[in-house]
Amino acid sequence: MSTALHDRIRDILQIDVVRTVPLSGGCIGDVRAVELSDGTTIVVKSGGDQLALEGWMLQTLSARSALPVPAVLHCAVDLLLMSNIETSGGITASAEQDAADHLAALHAVSGDSFGLERNTVIGGVHQPNPPMKLWLPFFAEHRLLHMAVNAHETGRLPAELVVRVEALCGRLSEWLDEPRGPSLIHGDMWTGNVLCNSGRISGFVDPAIYYADPEIELAFATLFNTFGDAFFARYNEHRPIADGFFEERRDLYNLYPLLVHVRLFGGSYVNSVDATLRRFGA
């Protein structure tokens, strides 16, 4: 961390920086644990031009739900200061059950429309959120097709696959029904964004929020094996999961995060998108 950034943090918090330790994770900016002269530790993200948006998403989650997230101490386009969240150990069965309690409560937070009052980002990639009354056209146009076109424009997804994504978008009603209503979701539920402390959830980080069918969040939680049976058994007690989710809808919803990963990384994720499209006849 540069001297100029040390000075900037000191000027904002009126406390000196003692030392910094690099942290892993986060597609938006450099992430460090920063020890201050009063003995407290904060987390600092710096760089890029989207950190004010990340701070706003954390503040929005805190204001609209009880989901445990870092407190935002300061946010600007290129600097985000947050409270430190204690961690110890990984995602155990008890942590999965705790996560299910938290996410079921989050998904009970309803909105007037799908989308959000602001566009957001997922992994640093633009995520449009125009408010819409119906979920299926929102998911088709502003998730699947948007990300497919974005991935193609950056040279990572062949045009032929974009055409197939568009064809699938016209048939979503064969597998998906309109949900009961819009639910607030975290939006990026992979293991690195779930912080645990001694078998409990201590916080969720790096959100990509909007109002959605909550099943898209449940699907994402299985894509990289973030949560398993213990999570779903507890979540089902709060919010019963309709038949067909694990058999069909999960893979259809996971086409969106797969397209995000194609946009970010390309490579084998292109084959995963192709396999999903083939499975649904596109």
Residue 54 shares a structural domain with residue 141: no
Looking up residue 230, the CATH number of its domain turns out to be 3.90.1200.10
Same domain, yes or no: 37 and 159: no
Closest by CA position to 143, among listed 255, 220, 247: 255
Q: Which of 98, 188, 213, 251 is catalytic?
A: 188
| Phi, psi of 75, deg, nearest 5 | -140, 140
Q: Which regions of the chain does DSSP assign to beta strands (E)?
A: 17-22, 30-36, 41-46, 72-76, 79-83, 120-122, 125-127, 183-185, 194-197, 200-204, 210-212
In terms of pLDDT, which residue wins out, 28 or 208?
208
Question: How many Cα neighbours within 13 Å face the side chain of 107?
Answer: 22
Domain that holds residue 44: 3-83
Q: Are 129 and 253 within one domain?
A: yes
Determine the residue type at 218: L
149 and 243 in a single domain? The answer is yes
Looking at residue 177, its amino acid is: D
88 part of a folded domain? no
Check: CB of residue 181 under 8 Å from CB of residue 154: no
Which CATH number do you get for residue 46? Answer: 3.30.200.20
Question: What confidence tier does 48 reach under pLDDT thresholds 50, 70, 90?
Answer: confident
Verify that 213 and 244 share a domain, yes or no. Answer: yes
Domain assignment present for residue 126? The answer is yes
Respond yes or no: is residue 188 known to be catalytic: yes
User: Does the pLDDT at position 255 exceed 90?
Assistant: yes
Is a pLDDT exceeding 60 seen at residue 98?
A: yes
Looking at residues 109-129, what average pLDDT do you find? 97
For residues 177 and 43, state if they share a domain. Answer: no
Asked if 244 and 173 sit in the same domain, the reply is: yes
Of 197, 198, 201, nearest in space to 186 by CA:
201
Residues 106 and 128 in one domain: yes
Residues near 235 by Cβ (< 8 Å), separated by ≥ 6? Answer: 100, 103, 104, 218, 241
Note the pLDDT of residue 23: 86
State yes or no: pLDDT of 182 exceeds 60: yes
Is there a domain that residue 242 lies in?
yes
Evaluated on CA atoms 63, 67, 72, 77, the torsion sign reads negative
CA pair distance 192, 25, nearest whole angstrom: 7
Q: Is residue 34 part of a domain?
A: yes
pLDDT at 25: 62
Say what the pTM is.
0.96
Same domain for 74 and 107, yes or no, is no
For residue 233, being part of any structural domain is answered with: yes
The predicted structure's pLDDT at residue 245: 98
